[in-house]
Amino acid sequence: MLSVHILYPKTEDSTFDMDYYCSTHMPMLADALGDACKGWGATAVGSGAWEAIGWAHVDNQEAFDVAMKEHGAKIMADVANYTNVAPQLVVGEVAK
């Protein structure tokens, strides 16, 4: 199982609309992944180095790559609708 974490850095003037993220952006990602999406979630941090963390479990790297190739541009274009910082994508294998 592939794990995709999305880290949003906190900066002096960073903004993050968690309502939009959970109601629109992450469902957009989940829709793009279709049956390959095995769950997703989000954490509001808002202190220290990070504004927020999102995550999704995806069947495998290929399914993620296929979805990103087809829908990645739309998903990335949506980022400006909820934050002014650049997400850091962290992709790995679920160990547990």
Asked whether the beta carbons of 28 and 67 are under 8 A apart, the reply is no
Least distance to a copy of itself, CB of residue 39, Å: 10
Per DSSP, the three-state class of 77 is helix
| Closer residue to a copy of itself (CB): 9 or 72 | 9
CA distance 45 to 57: 20
Residues near a copy of itself (CB under 8 A): 3, 5, 7, 18, 21-22, 26, 40-46, 48-50, 52-53, 55, 88, 90-96
| Closer residue to a copy of itself (CB): 44 or 70 | 44
Helical (H) or strand (E) element with 58: strand 50-58
